[in-house]
Amino acid sequence: MKKNNKSVFGRVASIVAVGLMAVSVGHAATIPGKGKGMMPTFTTVLTTAVFTAKSQSWSNPAFGDMGWTHHSGWGFVTANQGQTVTITTTSEVKGIHPGSTVWYRGATDLAGGVKPITAVKAIPATNTTPAVAAVLGVSGSAPYDYVLDHFYIQNGNMSKIGAMTEDEPAVSIGNLVMKYVIHGYDADSNTVNDVDLKPKKDGVPGKLTLSFKAAKTGTYMFVVGGFNPDANITDNAALNNIKVSVKVK
């Protein structure tokens, strides 16, 4: 089976065309790690972690082939301009094919621009408040543990100007900007070849490696989920362990 390569337009139709800044105006910002603890920040000390994700979470047919925020795993890594970041994801469950996307969360993407952040810690969901933006030192920027919505596009920028929380009552948390960097999915033994989603082969089914050179100094946020599981995966609601390794050189 070959997936319709034009399906990318279905993923972004509710936001904006591919390649342009996606702006959501009717949905609330959400915390991917809420209820699952902290989203790890990878460092020279913390280089590996185990994420949990559902088998179709990176591209879910029920979500118009977009990613499902709370069914995916999320993390952070900081890098200086010119450094190479390598993210390797390996499923611990046979038949799960990882997909991943990286976004830049630096403050220079905001209108007017401010100085970029050189380091930031992941924030426990229970401690996230509008004051966190001040703690991070970013005027007008939403806390980095918030993302655009309960869905995400895999291959584009996303932003929400004047983001509001989904809590009741809703609280303004500033401007939320996620600038696309790189994406791809494990294509080894995968029945789908979707050029828009960038299939990658390394000869090992269940393994995906993304590598990029940091264009800016700052914080990079990435998501890991499943894409088009093999026939042996019959429970698409189950959470699957995916080992994540991050190196910065």
Task: For residue 77, give both structure tokens.
Answer: 């890594």
Give residue 183's pLDDT: 98
The CATH architecture assigned to 5-248 reads Sandwich (2.60)
Report pLDDT digits (tens) over 114-162.
333 333 333 333 333 333 333 343 446 788 888 989 999 999 999 888 8
What pLDDT, on the 0 to 100 scale, is given for residue 24?
A: 42
**Alpha-carbon dihedral of residues 143, 20, 225, 234, nearest 10 degrees?**
140
CB 99 within 8 A of CB 87: no
Residue 41: predicted pLDDT: 93
| pLDDT tens digits, 13-40 | 333 323 334 444 445 899 997 656 579 9
Each residue's pLDDT tens digit, 93-115: 999 999 999 999 976 444 433 33
Domains of the chain, residue spans: 5-248
What local confidence, expressed as pLDDT, does residue 111 receive?
A: 41
> DSSP labels for 97-151?
-EEEEEEE--GGGSTT--PPPS------GGG--TTHHHHHT-TTBPPTT-BS-SE
Residues 131 and 40: their CA atoms lie apart, in Å, by: 20
